[in-house]
């Protein structure tokens, strides 16, 4: 096999990319508003990586972009080294312009290209970048079909709020997605069996978790109360064959009889129920459809992709989740609009774990789809997600684990779980390669902590309890601090660990220097995956009288969460994990900082604070922005904010601090405020960096003369 290497014409640019960017952040001219002139033009080179699809999962409110990695080198080192980052920033346009949704990073490496069992090279590999968003939903009678954009950029984070960002390495891709809207009728039943406390619990959960769908809220409430919440949704039932036929005829949609009756025919064939089959034949007769002909057509039609097509399958490298991207090609033929149950696109996943051409079924998932606006001329792009437990497929970083994955799409009837080659009436099949993230290799049972405070445990210094310079967040690969500064923790500290179902574990904490441990014993809400309904499910577990929780199966706890510790104070603490009946404990030190230990001050030097000035004069100021775990600052003056600059990440001198001057020429006479905001770099609630800022400011009045 011909060895894949860096193409000579790109070698210098690729290998020296970080150096060029450090010397000049706008080296490729990709930062349009930069005062620094670019040396070269950003070309959007896709030799090494390329975005190949974008999609949206309406149940999880998650945007997904699939990246194809084409070469075995050019990613800054092998798996045991730091590697490099692929950044994907997402945008949505609801009709009034692009809105920044945020970004995701994936940490990639040089992975040697081997041959699979059919002697095909194991490239490209498909990685999926996934971002949870808060979409703008309306009632189901109104279709919300925003345009979605993903921008891929290797090693350089695309500029915020810049949908036209020009990247040196990467590309951008657009698609249209459908937001899952609110049901037309949402109400709380007046049935006396539903008590007021349960209703209040439902409403409180909805208000405090606006990103959750109503069904998710219902599941959480039922899990926490062990009571059924009935009649929360009033969703129209799907029409039968006759009603659907009349409905589509009325709206001038030519939907073939096989499509309309597929589910019923499939049930007839599988169950061989004479009574049910007779009822279906009667409906067909009413519609003047020849039963024998449609059964013959059912047997002959395989892998029809007129309505939907599986475009890509890949692996969400951060969240350990298989992802399938599905293109919806027609506006109708999906059994109803958003106010009905619609229909389902099923995807079965298979994996060749050992490169021996033997496929193992790993699970099926689905995504709910509907008819959409007749005026839309765009195709829609959905993603179907399948979380998977890779515990027993992990390998060490010295042995990259690339496997072949197959996705099989089937509309409205489930695909086979025993035959990886079988194709149903509507749908298709795709194979690709993915890399399984290295990690804990299963063996003996012992307390194993994966992450603490959203950060891999090996990225927290054992002595200081602060993050290391290369620390990343587990679920999105964001750098904890772009400058590599060490960070403490605050708020809810999540502990994640390797699961050992059948055993019990306990989590204890103590302040460094204290003699005794405190046991965490709060109820724990876990996010899981229901393999029957193909939906996210929620489970609440409680510890026994000694504080021991039961380890859960992966389908109950897909994020491997073992505890959520509600912290307080600013001291250094120790966290201990032990397993009942197993010798030894895992102990990790962590530095807390729940207080905002910052200083912010700003004063006007020439004339004093809250004084009058003449338009055209200079305003001379001193300001202070500093403190323990200082992150950054921003100066606000005359209703604007100073643009980002390198020194905003450097704390000022002690009081009176640093000086700055601005001129008021051309500024309208009026009253203004000026001030400084200061942020820290504390990891809050295991998911974001920086408490809310502290602010100090003053006012001034500009007069014409």
Residue 189 has pLDDT above 50, yes or no: no
- 3-class secondary-structure state, position 424: coil
Number of Cα atoms under 13 Å in the Cβ half of residue 697: 20
Is position 33 within any domain? no
CA gap 223, 221 in Å, rounded: 5
Chain-centroid distance, C-alpha 57: 10
Domain co-membership, 197 together with 282: no
Residue 199 is predicted with a pLDDT of: 64
CA gap 552, 549 in Å, rounded: 9
Domain co-membership, 628 together with 548: no
Q: Of 165-179, 195-209, 496-510, which range is least confident?
A: 195-209
SS (H, E, C) 595-636: CCCEEEEEEECCCCCCEEEECCCEEEEEEEEEECCEEEEEEE
Q: Which of 29, 28, 131, 21 is nearest to 87 (CA)?
A: 131
Is position 18 within any domain? no
- Residue 124, preceding peptide bond in cis (omega within 30° of 0): yes
Residue 557 has pLDDT above 60, yes or no: yes
Residue 350 is predicted with a pLDDT of: 98
Q: Exposure of 384 by Cβ count < 10 A (0-12 exposed, 13-18 middle, 19+ buried)?
A: buried
Domain co-membership, 158 together with 278: no
Domain co-membership, 381 together with 511: no
Residue 620 has pLDDT above 50, yes or no: yes
Per DSSP, the residues of 147-214 read EEEEEEEESSPPPTT-TTPPPSB--EEEEE----PBPSEE-----TTS-HHHHHHHHHHHHH-TTS-H
CA gap 148, 172 in Å, rounded: 11
Average pLDDT over residues 181-209: 59
Residue 641 has pLDDT above 80, yes or no: no
Domain co-membership, 64 together with 88: yes
Residue 146 has pLDDT above 70, yes or no: yes
Residue 98 has pLDDT above 50, yes or no: yes
- 190 pLDDT band, cuts 50/70/90, is very low
- 49 pLDDT band, cuts 50/70/90, is very high
Domain co-membership, 611 together with 684: yes
**In degrees rounded to 5, what are phi and psi of residue 332?**
-140, 170
Residue 339 is predicted with a pLDDT of: 82
Q: Which residues pair with 526 in a beta bridge?
A: 539
Domain co-membership, 374 together with 345: yes
Domain co-membership, 587 together with 455: yes
- The domain in which residue 641 lies consists of 598-703
Average pLDDT over residues 44-56: 95
Q: Exposure of 254 by Cβ count < 10 A (0-12 exposed, 13-18 middle, 19+ buried)?
A: exposed
Domain co-membership, 49 together with 66: yes
Residue 20 is predicted with a pLDDT of: 81
Residue 463 is predicted with a pLDDT of: 96
Is position 2 within any domain? no
Q: Domain containing 691 — which CATH number?
A: 2.60.40.10
Domain co-membership, 367 together with 509: no
| Nearby residues of 541 by Cβ (< 8 Å), 6 or more positions away | 523, 524, 526, 549, 550, 552
Is position 284 within any domain? yes
Is position 509 within any domain? yes
Is position 552 within any domain? yes
Is position 20 within any domain? no
Domain co-membership, 126 together with 164: yes
Q: Comparing 587 with 373, which gets the higher pLDDT? A: 587
Residue 214 is predicted with a pLDDT of: 65
Residue 315 is predicted with a pLDDT of: 98
Number of Cα atoms under 13 Å in the Cβ half of residue 269: 14
Q: Of 215-229, 241-255, 592-606, 623-637, which range is least confident?
A: 215-229
- 287 pLDDT band, cuts 50/70/90, is confident
Residue 219 has pLDDT above 80, yes or no: no
Q: Comparing 159 with 284, which gets the higher pLDDT? A: 159
Run of H or E residues at 22: helix 17-23
Domain co-membership, 356 together with 384: yes
pLDDT tens-digit map of 481-509: 989 999 999 999 999 998 999 999 999 99
How many degrees, rounded to 5, is the angle at CA 14 between CA 169 and CA 8? 110
Structure tokens at 376: 């839309």
Residue 42 has pLDDT above 80, yes or no: no
Query: Pick from 532, 558, 591: which residue ends a domain?
Result: 591
Residue 300: how many other CB atoms lie within 10 Å: 8
CA gap 588, 373 in Å, rounded: 54
pLDDT tens-digit map of 111-144: 999 999 999 999 999 999 999 999 988 777 788 9
Run of H or E residues at 278: helix 274-286
Average pLDDT over residues 671-684: 94
Is position 109 within any domain? yes
- 3-class secondary-structure state, position 427: coil
Q: Of 135-139, 156-160, 440-444, 618-622, which range is least confident?
A: 440-444
Q: Of 246-255, 579-588, 612-621, which range is least confident?
A: 246-255
Query: Pick from 250, 280, 300: which residue ends a domain?
Result: 300
Residue 13 has pLDDT above 80, yes or no: no
Q: How many domains does the chain have?
A: 5
Which range is most confident: 6-15, 42-51, 592-601? 592-601
Per DSSP, the residues of 524-587 read EEEEEEETTTTEEEEEEE---TTSPEEP--TTT-TT-EEEEEE--SSSEEEEEEEETTSS-EEE
Residue 425 is predicted with a pLDDT of: 95
Q: Which of 447, 554, 453 is nearest to 506 (CA)?
A: 447
- 572 pLDDT band, cuts 50/70/90, is very high
Average pLDDT, the chain: 88
- 240 pLDDT band, cuts 50/70/90, is confident
CA gap 307, 331 in Å, rounded: 9
Query: Cβ distance 672 to 700 under 8 Å?
Result: yes
Residue 642 is predicted with a pLDDT of: 63
CA gap 524, 281 in Å, rounded: 51
Query: Pick from 557, 573, 591: which residue ends a domain?
Result: 591
**In degrees rounded to 5, what are phi and psi of residue 442?**
-60, 145
Structure tokens at 386: 């399948």
Q: Comparing 98 with 8, which gets the higher pLDDT? A: 98
- 264 pLDDT band, cuts 50/70/90, is confident
Residue 210 has pLDDT above 90, yes or no: no
Residue appearing with tokens 């014993």: 521
CA gap 69, 64 in Å, rounded: 16
Rounded percentage of the chain residues whose pLDDT exceeds 90: 64
């Amino acid at each position: 096999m011909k060895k894949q290497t860096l193409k000579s014409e790109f070698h210098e640019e690729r290998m020296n990319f970080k150096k060029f960017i450090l010397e000049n952040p706008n080296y490729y001219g990709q930062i349009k508003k930069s005062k620094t002139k670019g040396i070269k033009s950003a070309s959007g080179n896709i030799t090494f990586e390329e975005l190949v699809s974008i999609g949206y999962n309406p149940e999880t409110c998650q945007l997904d972009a699939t990246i194809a990695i084409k070469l075995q080198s050019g990613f800054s080192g092998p798996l045991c080294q730091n590697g490099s980052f692929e950044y994907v920033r997402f945008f949505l346009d609801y009709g009034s312009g692009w809105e920044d949704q945020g970004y995701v990073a994936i940490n990639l490496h040089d992975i040697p290209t081997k041959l699979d069992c059919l002697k095909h090279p194991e490239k490209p590999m498909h990685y999926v970048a996934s971002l949870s968003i808060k979409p703008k939903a309306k009632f189901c009678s109104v279709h919300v079909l925003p345009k979605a954009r993903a921008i891929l950029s290797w090693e350089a984070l695309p500029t915020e709020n810049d949908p036209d960002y020009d990247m040196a390495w990467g590309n951008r891709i657009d698609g249209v997605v459908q937001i899952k809207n609110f049901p037309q009728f949402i109400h709380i039943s007046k049935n006396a069996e539903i008590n007021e406390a349960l209703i209040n619990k439902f409403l409180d959960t909805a208000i405090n978790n606006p990103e959750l769908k109503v069904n998710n809220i219902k599941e959480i409430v039922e899990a926490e109360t062990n009571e059924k919440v009935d009649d929360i949704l009033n969703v129209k039932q799907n029409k039968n064959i006759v009603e659907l036929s009349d409905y589509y005829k009325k709206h001038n949609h030519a939907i073939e009889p096989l499509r309309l009756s597929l589910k019923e025919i499939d049930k007839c064939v599988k169950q061989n129920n004479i009574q049910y089959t007779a009822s279906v034949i009667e409906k067909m007769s009413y519609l003047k459809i020849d039963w024998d002909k449609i059964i013959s057509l059912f047997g002959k039609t395989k892998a029809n992709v007129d309505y939907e097509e599986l475009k890509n399958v890949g692996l969400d490298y951060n969240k350990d989740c298989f992802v399938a991207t599905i293109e919806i090609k027609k506006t109708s033929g999906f059994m109803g609009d958003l106010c009905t149950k619609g229909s389902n696109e099923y995807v079965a996943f298979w994996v060749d774990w050992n490169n021996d051409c033997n496929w193992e079924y790993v699970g099926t998932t689905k995504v709910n789809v509907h008819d959409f606006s007749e005026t839309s001329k765009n195709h829609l792009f959905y993603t179907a997600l399948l979380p998977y437990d890779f515990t027993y497929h992990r390998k060490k970083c010295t042995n990259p684990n690339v496997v072949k994955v197959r996705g099989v799409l089937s509309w409205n009837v489930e695909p086979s779980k025993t035959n990886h080659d079988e194709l149903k009436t509507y749908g298709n099949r795709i194979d690709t390669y993915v890399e399984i993230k290295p990690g804990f290799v299963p063996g003996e049972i012992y307390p194993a902590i994966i992450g603490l405070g959203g950060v891999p445990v090996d990225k927290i210094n054992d002595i200081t309890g602060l993050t290391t310079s290369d620390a990343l967040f587990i679920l999105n690969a964001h750098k904890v601090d772009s400058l590599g500064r060490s960070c403490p923790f605050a708020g809810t500290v999540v502990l994640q660990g390797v699961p050992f179902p059948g055993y019990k574990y306990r989590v204890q904490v103590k302040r460094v220097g204290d003699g005794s441990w405190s046991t965490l014993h709060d109820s724990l809400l876990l996010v899981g995956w229901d393999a029957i309904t193909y939906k996210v499910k929620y489970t609440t577990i409680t510890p026994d009288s000694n504080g021991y929780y039961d380890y859960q199966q992966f389908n109950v706890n897909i994020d491997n969460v073992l505890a959520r510790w509600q912290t307080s104070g600013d001291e250094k603490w120790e966290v201990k994990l032990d397993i009942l009946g197993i010798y030894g404990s895992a102990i990790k030190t962590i530095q807390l900082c729940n207080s905002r230990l910052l200083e912010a001050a700003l004063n006007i030097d020439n004339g004093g604070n809250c004084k009058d000035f003449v338009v055209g004069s200079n305003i001379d100021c001193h300001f202070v922005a500093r403190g323990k775990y200082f992150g950054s600052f921003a100066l606000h003056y005359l209703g604007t904010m100073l643009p980002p600059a390198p020194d905003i990440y450097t704390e000022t001198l002690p009081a009176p601090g640093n000086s700055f001057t601005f001129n008021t020429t051309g500024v309208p006479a009026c009253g203004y405020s000026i001030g400084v905001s200061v942020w820290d770099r504390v990891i809050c609630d295991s998911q974001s960096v920086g408490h809310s800022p502290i602010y100090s400011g003053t006012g001034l009045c500009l007069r014409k003369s």
